[in-house]
Structure formats: structure tokens, C-alpha cells
Amino acid sequence: MSAAPLGTDELIAAANAWLEQDPDAVTHTELEALITDATQGDEAAIAGLHDRFDARLAFGTAGLRGELGAGPNRMNRVLVTQAAAGLAAYLLTHELSPSIVIGYDGRVNSEVFARDTATIMAGAGVRAILLPRLLPTPVLAFAVRHLNVSAGVMVTASHNPAIDNGYKVYLGGDNHGSQIVSPADADIAHAIDVVAKGSIADLPRSTDFVTTDDGVVDEYIARTAALAGPVKDITYTYTAMHGVGWETTQAVYAKAGLPAPALVEEQAQPDAAFPTVAFPNPEEPGAMDLSFAKAREAGADLAIAHDPDADRLAVAVPGRDGEWRRLSGNEVGMLLGWRAAERSNGTGKLAASIVSSPALRAIAADYGLDYSDTLTGFKWISRIDGLIFGYEEALGYLVDPDKVRDKDGISASVDFLSMAAELKAEGSTILDRLDAFTARFGAFASRQVSLRFAQISEIGDTMTRLRAAAPTSVGGLAVESFDDFENGVDGFAPSNIIRLQIEGGARVIVRPSGTEPKLKFYVDASSTAGDGAERQAAAEAVASQLEAGMRELLS
């Protein structure tokens, strides 16, 4: 949340009050130096304090996420302790004897934040369970359901830069282990604000929490391994992207009877500095270069990558031109969705975020299954009743909703490896399967473009301009309808999203990123005319035409 900029005296007073309660030597020293320099009139130090104290990291439907450092607009022990105490207060107003399970990854301070949370929860009277060591996010999401607790916290910033950390909250009970949504997010945020009015030094603490044994991890491994098909002949590479995925994933693959992968050793173990990648996200250009090199060396059929907390999956395959390429999130989602439909026996529901490809809807229609679009984020997908498969184009897939109610890159990789092995046994490949998809369901072409602005305010101005002068055409193609989700569309809660339905069945969706000065737009086009190559060419041509038109419109 933001407020009016503080005056210099107020700013230094706020910083000193924060300093008095900061138990972390690193952030304490950082803030002390800033205060000293600001008191002497150093403009850079004053600006640094304003950046840290004029705003507070907002607690929302993704919990907390931000840069590590001192002050309320950074991730640190004071802020996390306030969040834990606020969450504890929320849980105690909803249950007589609430409980929570807490997990953490390998980022800077993740274990510290997790242990602070456990001591605050125990001190508040919430039964607290700490996972035994750093583990992937899907294990924590599984533990919320498996242990039947009231809530879960995962300390992770997923695929964010190394300077970040985060705090993701799940709820049990009627929420079935899904991430928080409204109104719980606002209620928890209010409780945190109440705590933040005092000092964390006054909060009760207790070490009377339980560090669980490997039982919950072993159960996750067993249930995930059970997803594997009977065919195991597959050659593949694996990277954990310097995250926490390898230990658990390796155990899953071994129990499933899958052959061991050719491991990208340089990225196998947790390393909070992420030294071999500019950005620890397999979607980013260059992030899978070491995987491609290993795959060529191993003569692999495919390459598997997890993001640092292993809730996302990236897959790459050798192209027909001999070059390796990463499949898009929509391509992986289409193939896994088709696989889910094949084993559905005609019952259940498929779901995807509204910015994901309409291909999943086409699969559902072909198999007589129900289908739902959701707002962006797995917190919405995971809540769909009767769900058998859900995905979002940003590499998130849920193939086993009975086990976990969040995206799970490990489970998804087992399912994908099984599919690839079955295809190989038939003398086929993943690319052949994509061709078969186009022949049966049509061709689907997608684009996801991020436009960076100098100031976040420019994004709001651009959205306002788009709403005030709704385009009648994009790239020379007529706009058939203009849907403003701020007014509520298709039963969704009001959201800062605009959707343009384009002639011929294509569409464009525009939305702010929310965390960066970026405006994102998503283009989807499809074709069922002609043979497979003609269908794909037609869909790609329309998608390219719309992308160019949107770049011009939003520039």
C-alpha cells in the first residue's frame, strides 16, 4: 500500500522505529547506515529511505513478494514476522484450534523466515508444523491437504530474481489447500496492518512447534510416482535451475521406474545466487542453454526444466531443423490436457486461465467434457469443482488435483515423460503429437508480449486511453466486441483486464503485470481450414498480424 511521501523528520523517525525492532544483523546494518547518511543530508540516502518507507509491500492474493532489504517496502524479518502474526490472528478468528504447515526453498533467508513464522504461530497458539528441510512448493501445497491443517505458508519467490523473496499463503478446510483469494487476502492484510502498528519485539513467541519427519515428503513422492505410465524407455535431461527441485524430483523418477536423466550438474543444487542464469525462469531467453548443450551431448529425446521452486515445468525438444526449442506453455498445456481428456471416461472438467490458449476448450468440446475459463493465477484454476486438469500459459500445470491444489511441475513432468515414452514406443515424437493435435482439433497460435514503461502510472494511462477509445480494428482485422472486465464479464470478479474479440474467432487480452512497469497483451488465433500445415500457417499469420497491430496501438 502507498501513502503520501513522508517529511524528512518523519522518515528518519519511522526508520529509527523500524531499526529498534529489526533482529537481522544485515538489514540492521543497512538501515543504520542509511539513517546516518540521511541525517547528514545525503540525498541518495534520503531517497533510499523514501523507497523503503513511503510504501509497504502489499499483502494480496499472492501473499508477499519483493526485494530483500530493510523497511516495510522490502522482504525482511520484521515484515515477515508482522505477516505471520497477522495471519495467526486471522486463523484464530476462524477456528478454535487452528494449525499451519510451513515450507521454504533455498533462497536467501527462506529458512529464517520460515522459522520466524513457526515461532510466531506457536506463540500465538496456532499449532505449527515446519517441513524438515528446504523443499519444492508442490510438497508444501500437498502437505496442507495431507496433514489436514488450517493453512500453509511457503517461503519462496519462485522464478523471481535472486534479490527477491516471497511468502505464499494457502488455506485448508473449505479452501481445500488452494492459495488465498478475496476476501481472505484483504482480511489477512487488515490483521497484518494492526500488528504493524506496534513492535514485533512485543509479540509472543514459542519454540513449541513441530518439525515433521520425511513422512509427508515420502507420501508426496509415492503419489506422484504413481502417475507414471507403464512405458519407461526415454532419454532426457533435467535441470533444477539452481532451485530445490532435484532432490524430490530424483526420488519421484526413481520410484516411478523412470531412467535417470542426464543431469545439468551446474544447476542441480540449490544456489540462491543463480550463478549460471541472468534470470532463473526457464521462459527467459538463454535460461535453458545449458540444458540444450547437455541434451545434444546425451542424444536426448527431450529436456525437462523446473523453475527454482519446482512448481513450473518447461519442456524442450529437438526440432526438425536439428535445433533444440522450448515448447510454449500453451503447447505443453494442450498436450497434457489432451492426455487428461483421453483418460477421463467422459467426466470431469478442464480449466485454464483466460490468457491461455482456447485449445483446451476445443479438447473439452471434442470429448464432451465441461470447461471453465478463470482469471489469471492458479488460485482460481485450483478451485474449479470437478477439475481433472488445469493450466496457465506461464508454464503452470495441474495434472493431479486430488493430490495437490496448485501448479505442480514435478507431477506434470512425470505425466509428460510418460507420454513421450509411449510415443517413442510407437515410433512417434512430441512434434508428431503436436501435428496430430492440429489435425484433430485445429491449429492454435499464441503470442504473449510484455511492453515495458518508464513509470507504472503510464500503464494506467494506457489502459484508460484504451477504454476511452475502444479500437474498431487491430492490424486491419475488425474488433467484434470489447469486453472490459472492470465492469464484470462472464461472471468474473471485476479485474483490470480488457478483451477484444476479433473477426474470425481470434482474440486479444490486455492486462497490467501488477508487479512491474509492464503492460502485457496476449494474442490467440486458430484455424481449421486445410491440412495441418495450412491450418498452422493461417493461425500464425493472423497472430502475427494482431501482434503487430497491438504493438502499434499501445505504443
Active site residues: 158
> Strand, helix or coil at 530?
coil
Alpha-carbon distance 167 to 156, whole Å?
6
Residue labelled with grid coordinates 474467432: 505
Q: What is the DSSP letter of 180?
A: P
Asked if 497 and 522 touch (Cβ cutoff 8 Å), the reply is no
Alpha-carbon distance 149 to 379, whole Å?
18
Q: Where are the alpha helices (DSSP H) in 1-41?
A: 8-21, 25-39
Angle at 511 between CA 506 and CA 516, to 5 degrees: 140
In 3D, which of 532, 529, 467 has the Cα closest to residue 504? Answer: 529
Alpha-carbon distance 394 to 379, whole Å?
14
Those residues with Cβ within 8 angstroms of residue 139's Cβ, 6 or more apart along the chain or in another chain:
103, 131, 216, 217, 220, 248
b or e along 112-125 (b: 16 or more beta carbons within 10 Å of the residue's beta carbon)?
A: bbbbbbbbbbbbbb
Alpha-carbon distance 165 to 22, whole Å?
17
Nine-digit cell string for 230 = 507403464
Nine-digit cell string for 134 = 528446504
In 3D, which of 176, 239, 177, 247 has the Cα closest to residue 218? Answer: 247
